[in-house]
Amino acid sequence: MNKNHNLTPRHKVVLYWATLGKTNQEIADLLEIHVTSVTEYFKQIYRILDAKNRANATAIALQNNLLDEFITAFEGK
């Protein structure tokens, strides 16, 4: 899968927080954006990754190492 190029840095950070079990509201609070923006990001992510839901999207992202740069940055190498 080479769909990594279609995910923006914002998509990736939203997905990163989802992998940690954050809700849309929690992600919105962390990123200081409106919760409807997070919902829209997830719709885009599902389309880009051809994912059926949040769990499927996070699994695809992790299996394809799409979040490595964010995992390293947020978890301290």
Q: How does pLDDT run across 38-66, given as a tens digit for each residue?
A: 999 999 999 999 999 999 999 999 999 99
Query: CB under 8 Å to 61, separation ≥6 — which residues?
Result: 7, 12, 15, 19, 49, 67
DSSP per-residue string spanning the chain: --GGGGS-HHHHHHHHHHHTT--HHHHHHHHTS-HHHHHHHHHHHHHHHT-SSHHHHHHHHHHTTTTHHHHHHHHT-
- pLDDT over threshold 90, residue 68: no
Domain 3-75 matching CATH 1.10.10.10: the answer reads: yes
- Mean pLDDT taken over the chain: 89
